[in-house]
Structure 1
């Protein structure tokens, strides 16, 4: 099976390609320097020549705060880019998987959002990702949409690396404690996506490591496992203002994964443990 993966220079795209290669699949990863997904002619020509069996679309404009002011760039990547890739997939009858986000929801309440709940994004980034979902559903007959949250992986910057870096010079940190969600280790997620794309179990899925926590609890667990003596002060969202509004409730139900025979990802604390081991080996 030949699989084209966009966003190869990012955390998830990198791990998706690496896992596919381990399984002996024909993986082709592209970054923005390899293929401008906002250019429909380039995308059409590239995909037709490559002729993959499937496309896993991980590329996205993910600078949430910057997106509020740089709306054209965000829209072009997340909506137009997705449209170009989906159309190209349709033309060659390739499977298509679109990676979406918890930001498509408004973050209200304390329940877990189901795959069937109607999205209602509160920021421009979330709006473009939801519009991307709609483009995929309108253009294609068979598709996968996988919503993910709080991603961390080996290839790129993330919350875990930021906490470890800050711990080098600080012994006390203020971290938001009223936003709740599920951390997601791209190594675990990549395995699921590669397995899923080889099936015909199409539809919308939520995928993250099991369990919920706040960013403050996430930070505490990172420091605990890394044996770092750093005090975490849990603060409110209002005490840490950002350009874009963040959803306070990013809990997502993953029941559909189980219902369709996919194994849930490991608990997030276990994912943190394995990730810390992975990045410690990188340092060596």
Structure 2
């Protein structure tokens, strides 16, 4: 079986690589269907998803069973000014992959975001709720979803949120570093969502990919919190001597508007392959314990 993963140097792509090479994750063994596997891990420098000819030539030659698209332009604020680049990566890239996936009869799993919703309300968004993004990032990601649905019949769209993992930059690493350096942090308390461990997300993506259960999925950690709650839990679990104070989004000068409430409900996951996503606090605790263990092992 051949598998192609784009964005392989990012948090999720790197986590998928780790699981596939180990044949297991923190949540358990992966399906033995992946034991006989040829995988192409492609970063931006290897493979430009915004170039239809390049995508066509590569994929028609490799002929994968499935494609996992982790590539994205994720700098939410920069998207507001670098709109062409965001559009190419977040919208045209998925379109190109969908066109060629259909041509070679490959499954396409495209990773999307909670930012496709407007952030209004207080009930977690379900897969059937109508998206209404409020930022360029969210708009380009939603268009990417639409292009996938229009151009590919064997697709999975997996929306996630507040992702952190062992590789690359993320909120957990940022808070730990800033907490150690500053001793005091102000963190917004008026945005609610679901912190998601990349290990959990990667495991579920690999479960979904082997099925014929096509459609849109929400896949986030269980439970919700504010960024302030998230930061305070990170500091507590890390044992860092730092105080965390709540503030409001209005006190931060940011180019892009963030959804005030973007909690997702994993309804499709529960109804198909099963929802084994951990509670966000449990998953974060395990993540930080693993970081501490790795740190000690390297001493």
Which TM-score tier does this pair reach, normalised by the shorter chain?
over 0.9
- Aligned ranges 1:4-23 → 2 under 5 Å: 4-23=4-23
2:167 to 145, 155, 171: 155
> Is the Cα–Cα contact under 8 Å of residues 38 and 77 in structure 1 kept in the other structure?
yes
Give runs of ≥4 in structure 1 deviating > 6 Å.
none
1:68 aligns to 2:80 (yes or no): yes
Partner of 1:115: 127
1:85 to 89, 94, 97: 97
CA distance in 1, matches of 2:83, 2:107: 29
Q: TM-score, normalised by structure 2?
A: 0.92
CA distance in 1, matches of 2:168, 2:293: 16
SS in 2 for 1:275: helix
Displacement, 1:229?
A: 2.4
Partner of 2:152: 140
1:278 aligns to 2:278 (yes or no): no
SS in 2 for 1:210: coil
Partner of 1:229: 241
- Aligned ranges 1:197-216 → 2 under 5 Å: 197-216=209-228
Task: Tell me which moved more, 26-35 or 259-268.
Answer: 259-268
CA distance in 1, matches of 2:175, 2:185: 9
Displacement, 1:282?
A: 4.1
Count of residues in correspondence between the two structures: 284
Unaligned runs of 5+ in 1: none
Partner of 2:30: none
- Aligned ranges 1:97-116 → 2 under 5 Å: 97-116=109-128
1:238 aligns to 2:250 (yes or no): yes
CA distance in 2, matches of 1:240, 1:159: 16
Partner of 2:38: 26
User: Which whole-Å deviations, capped at 9, do the CAs of 1:63-110 have from their partners, x for residues lacking one?
Assistant: 100000000011011111111111111110000011000000000111
Backbone CA RMSD of aligned residues? 1.1
> Is the Cα–Cα contact under 8 Å of residues 193 and 226 in structure 2 kept in the other structure?
yes
Q: TM-score, normalised by structure 1?
A: 0.97
